[in-house]
A and B are shown apart, each in its own frame.
Chain A
Amino acid sequence: MSSKATRRHLLAGLGAGAALASPLRRLAAGERLKAGWVYVGPIGDHGWTYRHDVGRREVEAALGERVETTYVEKVAEGPDAERVLRQLAASGHAIIFATSFGFMNSVIRVAKQFPQVKFEHATGYKTAPNVAVYNARFHEGRTVIGTIAGHMTKSGIVGYVASFPIPEVVMGINAFMLAMRRVRPDAVAKVVWVNSWYDPGKEADAAKALIDQGADIITQHTDSAAPLQVAEERGAWAFGQASDMSRFAPRAHLTAIIDNWGPYYIQRVQAVLDGSWKSHAIWWGLREGMVKIGPYNPRLPEEVREAAERVRQGIIDGSIHPFAGPIRDQQGRLRVPEGKALADEEILRMDWYVEGVQT
């Protein structure tokens, strides 16, 4: 069943009441560094949290003799998160990964109290000397699958099963649409918001509704494989989210955007072991391997696969920019002229949709 990390340790004086941890001392021979992960959802979401846990297990596999990992699931954002972060910090964890935006203010507060502990906050924007921020350019993945969608669609309508209108989702929709329209200029994306990160039943309902309304490609920014199952049954194409989901829809699954946190986690834990850890704010994508494209479906025509690979390589070597102009918004206004591209800050603040997105 579930893998068991060796995360047992005896409690030393947790009840000291002192807010400051002792300076990071040299680990005794044989003693392992403790690394902690805070998850907002269950590993059983088979999506966001699941992939972070895969990353954690990769750390164990790579550094298991020197590192011991802990994880806490289903930590609600808010007061609970702060308590858990503090508990991890106070119980001797040298580095803590907080894997949800909503943990941000709690991370900053606890980091102030524990200056010797390193904190890594996913998808946030506040840093500190002991708080690093990390994020993944999932939208680069969307550009690749958008290209595939443009080639594979007949109806020109893509059904987008979306969760919440947060920046990451918005930029994903836009990147997808821009890429699709480069191949199929009249393409349209119908977006349905299910107001949840994982609710397989509702995701399936959304996918069915979209297919009923003419979509022949389904893509999603929700965690479960339910939309893929609907696509498989109804004869539409679909893409996997966060991990390779081809076994759920062998015929329909064209490829997937894969969250690949392991190498980053290994690198950062190693940095703590070496003493070289420094705060940063990184946003990595296809080039650094934080985002990967899954294996292509054998049924994908050769020229489509080549087109997708060209886009993928282009993003990696910098010759293709996911948000290169000209870009018009839903009202037809030119937001980015030809020859220019959106800068990172502009992408992060995107709260408008490109032409063709119907939401």
Chain B
Amino acid sequence: MRIGLEPRIERSAAVALLAPVVAVLLTLLAGAILFALLGHAPGAALYAFFISPIDSRYGLGELGVKAAPLVLIALGLAFGFRAGVWNIGAEGQFTLGAICGGGIALFLPDVGAPWLFPLMLLAGVLGGMLWAAIPALLKARFEVNEILTSLMLSYVALLLLSTLVHGPWKDPEGFGFPQSRLFPEAATAPLVLAGTRLHLGALVALLAVPVAWVVERRALGAFGARVAGLAPAAARYAGFRRPRVIWAAMLISGGLAGLAGVFEVAGPIGQLVPRISPGYGFTAIIVAFLGRLHPAGVLLAGLVVALSYIGAENAQIEAGLPQAVGGVFQGMLLFFLLGCEVFARYRLRVYPARRRA
């Protein structure tokens, strides 16, 4: 007797919705066991992880603040991944967006108030696109693998930011610390929800979801990105040119990452500092895949992943759970989510014993 997986003819919507729920339940169970084994009260820890971060208006705002860059970046990445273009350098594009947008705020503050912020956003998008253009060029012209180039450029971007805030862009009144001046009022992202830190970037991220969905349905058809990702040879025969797909995918994901970057420094941070991202560019990759590369999925996945990070912080404060345990728990949550998802695409079948020939 064997147990095996059989592809479903049609994806079951019911299971697709049920699978994440089951995954979370399994995580709660496994987490409770883990916490108990380590001597922490499971109930308090789980509550601190999942419930208390979002049981207040401020908490929901924080969820948005944390999720916004993740969703924005992941939307762009999902587009690229569908097209078979592996942009692993979103972190670097995020950073370049922050540098370019921040640069506008620092050096062109005299531009009139209504124009400064949009100009910064534009600069951020262009900055991210510029950084993504390098791996795009290398791939489209020279067939150099974009995983490597985009990843290497991430490190370079971080070092570039460090060079700038330690040197030419350092705040002269900042006691020599590596930080830029604080951005002027007109250069800060407006808040959208009183009593929270929820800023325009979160709104933009939210709006980007249906926009991405529409774009994917219509323009994607023209670019054939979806087809191109699945079978480059077939796509070529169908008339979709691969270099165009590469450029589109990289520029879009780079631009979105750059936009997320400028929102982050113009919003919650308010200046340029050496560390502006706790790894959004890489976490967004997880978000993109958890969301099955679909805009609505990306939104949900972004919220879940953001919650897991905030929950880990909270659990340290409220339940005394060490940060390391939080990390293990996060990994487990992701494992269960990824593992349970298989049942949306496959069914469990029991096969009668087969005789060996």
Partners in one complex: yes
The chain A residues found within 8 Å of chain B, CB to CB, are 2, 4-11, 14-17, 19, 36, 42, 70-80, 82-84, 86-88, 91, 101-102, 105, 125, 164-167, 170, 195, 348-351
A10 engages B55 (CB within 8 Å):
no
B65 engages A79 (CB within 8 Å):
yes
Contacting residue for A195 out of B66, B159, B316, B323, CB 8 A:
B159
What's the Cα separation between A135 and B271 when bound, in Å?
A: 23
Chain B residues bordering chain A, tally (CB within 8 A): 46
What's the Cα separation between A58 and B178 when bound, in Å?
A: 32
B39 engages A4 (CB within 8 Å):
yes
Contacting residue for B313 out of A2, A4, A14, A84, CB 8 A:
A84
Contacts of B310 in A (CB 8 A): 83
Contacting residue for A105 out of B56, B182, B276, B313, CB 8 A:
B182
Contacting residue for B41 out of A8, A14, A102, A167, CB 8 A:
A8
Contacts of A82 in B (CB 8 A): 197, 268
Contacts of B177 in A (CB 8 A): 101, 166-167
Indicate whether B47 reaches chain A with its CB closer than 8 angstroms.
Answer: yes
Residues of B263-286 contacting chain A, CB below 8 A: 264, 267-271, 273-276, 278
B175 engages A9 (CB within 8 Å):
no
- For this complex, 10 residue pairs linking A to B, each with C-beta atoms less than 8 Å apart, are A8-B44, A15-B52, A72-B313, A72-B317, A74-B323, A77-B273, A78-B269, A78-B278, A167-B175, A167-B177
Given A15-B55, A165-B166, A166-B176: A91 and B268 interface contact (C-beta under 8 Å): no
Indicate whether B20 reaches chain A with its CB closer than 8 angstroms.
Answer: no
What's the Cα separation between A105 and B313 when bound, in Å?
A: 20
B323 engages A72 (CB within 8 Å):
yes
A17 engages B56 (CB within 8 Å):
yes
Contacting residue for A11 out of B197, B264, B273, B318, CB 8 A:
B318
Contacts of B178 in A (CB 8 A): 164-166
Contact mask for chain B residues 162-175; partner A; CB cutoff 8 A; 1 contact, 0 none: 10001000000001
B217 to chain A, nearest CB (A): 33
Indicate whether B244 reaches chain A with its CB closer than 8 angstroms.
Answer: no
Given A15-B56, A79-B268, A80-B278: A349 and B176 interface contact (C-beta under 8 Å): yes
Indicate whether B27 reaches chain A with its CB closer than 8 angstroms.
Answer: no
Contacts of A71 in B (CB 8 A): 316
B56 engages A14 (CB within 8 Å):
yes
Contacting residue for B176 out of A5, A87, A167, CB 8 A:
A167
B320 engages A15 (CB within 8 Å):
no
A252 to chain B, nearest CB (A): 31
What's the Cα separation between A357 and B144 when bound, in Å?
A: 42
Contacts of B271 in A (CB 8 A): 105
A298 to chain B, nearest CB (A): 38
Contact mask for chain B residues 131-163; partner A; CB cutoff 8 A; 1 contact, 0 none: 000000000000000000000000000010010
B273 engages A87 (CB within 8 Å):
no
B317 engages A87 (CB within 8 Å):
yes
What's the Cα separation between A87 and B62 when bound, in Å?
A: 11
A167 to chain B, nearest CB (A): 4
What's the Cα separation between A91 and B315 when bound, in Å?
A: 12
Contacts of B47 in A (CB 8 A): 11
A236 to chain B, nearest CB (A): 29
What's the Cα separation between A93 and B147 when bound, in Å?
A: 46
What's the Cα separation between A9 and B57 when bound, in Å?
A: 22
Indicate whether B87 reaches chain A with its CB closer than 8 angstroms.
Answer: no
Contacts of A349 in B (CB 8 A): 175-176
A299 to chain B, nearest CB (A): 38
A341 to chain B, nearest CB (A): 19
A87 engages B56 (CB within 8 Å):
no
Given A8-B41, A77-B275, A78-B269: A14 and B316 interface contact (C-beta under 8 Å): no
What's the Cα separation between A10 and B41 when bound, in Å?
A: 11
A171 to chain B, nearest CB (A): 9
Contacts of A102 in B (CB 8 A): 273, 275
Indicate whether B30 reaches chain A with its CB closer than 8 angstroms.
Answer: no
Contacts of B66 in A (CB 8 A): 79-80, 83
Indicate whether B58 reaches chain A with its CB closer than 8 angstroms.
Answer: yes
What's the Cα separation between A166 and B274 when bound, in Å?
A: 11
A88 engages B317 (CB within 8 Å):
yes
Indicate whether B322 reaches chain A with its CB closer than 8 angstroms.
Answer: yes
B314 engages A70 (CB within 8 Å):
no
What's the Cα separation between A105 and B276 when bound, in Å?
A: 14
Contacts of A91 in B (CB 8 A): 317-318
B271 to chain A, nearest CB (A): 8
